[in-house]
Homo-oligomer: A and B are copies of this chain.
Amino acid sequence: MYLLGLDLGSTVCKSSIFDVSGDIVCISREEFSSALSHPRRDWVEFDPNIFWHIVSRNLRNSIKAAHLSPKEIAGMSVSASGELFVPVSSNGNPVCKAIHWSDKRDAGYRKSLQIIKRFGTLRTYKITGYPFSAMPSLPKVLWLRQNRPNLFRKIGRLLLLEDFVNLRLTGNSVTDYSLAMTSQMFDITKKDWSDEILDEMKISREILPDVYPSGKPVGEVLSEASKDTGLARGTIVATGGLDQCCGALGIGVTSEGEAFNTTGTCEIVAAASDKPVLHERGLRSGIFCCPHVVENKYLLLGVLPSSGSTLKWFKETFGEVESREAERNGSDPYSLIVEKAADSQPGSGGIFMLPHFDGSGSGIAPAFNSESKGVFFGLTLSSRKSDIIRALLEGITFEARLYFEALEELGLKVRKVKAMGGGAKSKLWLQMKADIFGKKVVLPDVIEGSSLGAALLAGLSCGVYSSVKRATSEICKYQTILAPSRKRLMLYNEYYRLFKGMYPVCLPLFKSM
C-alpha cells in the first residue's frame, strides 16, 4: 500500500509516493512558474488553469514512474503554500486569475491595509495569528471587491491552493485549519472562520470553503479527475495543510521543544507549541502563529521572504562560471557556489550581509518592511568571491537566529533544530547553522518533509496509521546530527551582535531612499 503527498511550493510542485514505512518510492517535480505572470510592475498573477494542467501532469508522471497500479495508492493529500486564493464560480471554474502572495499592487495594498488597521492590527493578530502585512488573502480580497466589483459578484468560493486541488479532485471545497489561517480571516483559537472579521469586512461566510482538521477525508477522486491525474477513481483525498506544517509533521516537529529551519525560496524558522501564543511582542517581531496539522498543536513561524531566492539571484548575477562548470559536469551550480564558502572563514573576512533582498521579514521590528533592502557591508580590496558567498550564507543564517531569539522571548524553548529545504543539502551550511544557532542541527533522512507530512496525513485519514505519535516514531528517520563548535559559536556570538546592529542603523537610509 502506498500514500501520495503532493507538495505545492512557490514555483515547483512535487508529487511524491511513499510506502507505509515512509520510504520514498518516487518523486516527480514540475515547475509551474509558467502559471505566474507580471501584467504590471509589482503585480504577480497566477493562472489556475495552467496550474491545474501542470499539477495533473505531475501526478500522472509520478504514478507512472513508480511502476505501480494507481489502486495501490490508498490516499493522498496536499501540502500547499498559503495566502494565494483562487476565486471560482459556483460551478467551480476560475472567475479570474488568482493574485499571488508576493503581489504588491496599489503600493502594497495601501487601502486594504488601512481598513485592517482601522479594525485593529493587534486585534486581527490575536484572532488570526497572522502579523500585519500585505501577504495574506484578506487585503487582496478587499482589493478585488473594491476594484473588480463585477468579477467579485461572480465568485462562488474563494479557494486556497489546497482547496482548489481538493475541489478538482473530489468536487468538494474543503480546506484545513493551517491553510485557512493564511487567509487572515480564520480564528485560530476557535478554529472557525472569524465572524468578527467577516462581519467587519462584509465578507460572506458562504464564499469560504468548509474547514476540517488536517488528515480528514475530503472525498474520493472523481472519474474526470482520475483521467486528468492518473489517480484511481475512488482514491481517498484527505485534508493536508500549509507546507510548513506538513513539513514539520514529516520531520517529527510535533510538540513543544522541537523546531525546524527551512532554507528554501524563503527562510523559515518554526517551533511547535502546545497552545496558541498571541502576544503583542510576537506581532512586533512578525511571528506567525498557525494551527498545526497535528490536532491541538500550534506552530510559531518566523519568515524571511528571500533566502534561496537570494542565492538564485547570486547565481544569475555572478555565478556564470559555476553555472557553466555545473553544466559541463552535470553537477549542481548551487552546490558549487555554496561550497566556495569553505575557502573563507567564519566572519567572511569582515563582510556582513543584510539579507533583505525582498524586504525584511520577522525578527526585528519593523517586521516585513518592504523598504528594507539587501546590503553587503565591509568590503575591501582583499575581499574574495568566497568571502562574499560566505557572507551571504552567514547573513541568512544570522537572520534565522533572530527568529529563534524572538520565539524564545515568546516563551518557547528550542532544544534542537531540524533542517529542511535546499539549504539542508550542504554540510557546510548545516554546520554553519549549528555554529550560529548554538544548537544541535538534525538532518532528517527525508528532505522532502512537506510531501512526507502530506502523505502521512493521507495515511491517518484512511487508517494506515492509528495516531500521529505512532506514525512519526516509525517514519521520521534522521541522517546526521551536527553539534555546534564551542569556538566558532563564541566567534559567531560576536558577529551576530554586529549583524543585529546593521538593520536599525540602515533603517533611516532605507527610509530616505
Contacts and interface: CB of A to CB of B under 8 A. Distances in A.
B385 A374 contact: no
B513 A509 contact: no
Contact of A509 (B320, B377, B381): B377
B317 A388 contact: yes
Contacts of A309: 381
| Contact size range, A | 35 or more
Contact of A512 (B375, B501, B508, B510): B501
Interface string A226-247: 0000000000000000000000
A350 interface: yes
A352 B310 contact: no
Contacts of A506: 377, 505
A379 B383 contact: no
Q: Secondary structure at chain A's binding surface: helix, strand, loop or mixed?
A: helix
A167 B510 CA distance: 56
A317 B383 contact: yes
A352 B513 CA distance: 10
Interface in A136-192: none
A293 to B, nearest CB: 30
Contact of A373 (B310, B318, B380, B512): B380
A373 B349 CA distance: 12
A463 B350 CA distance: 56
Interface string A316-351: 011011000000000000000000000000000010
Nearest to A387: B317
Contacts of A357: 379-381, 383
Contact of A375 (B313, B321, B377): B377
Given A383-B317, A498-B513, A376 B378 contact: no
A428 interface: no
A358 B388 CA distance: 17
Contact of A376 (B306, B320, B321, B379): B379
A42 to B, nearest CB: 11
Closest 6 CB pairs of A and B: A374-B379, A373-B378, A376-B376, A318-B318, A320-B321, A357-B381
Given A358-B381, A377-B509, A498-B509, 6 more contacts: A309-B381, A313-B383, A318-B318, A357-B379, A357-B383, A505-B508
23 contacts: A306-B381, A309-B381, A313-B383, A317-B383, A317-B384, A317-B385, A320-B320, A350-B373, A350-B513, A357-B381, A358-B380, A373-B377, A373-B380, A374-B379, A375-B375, A375-B376, A375-B377, A377-B506, A377-B509, A378-B510, A378-B513, A501-B509, A505-B509
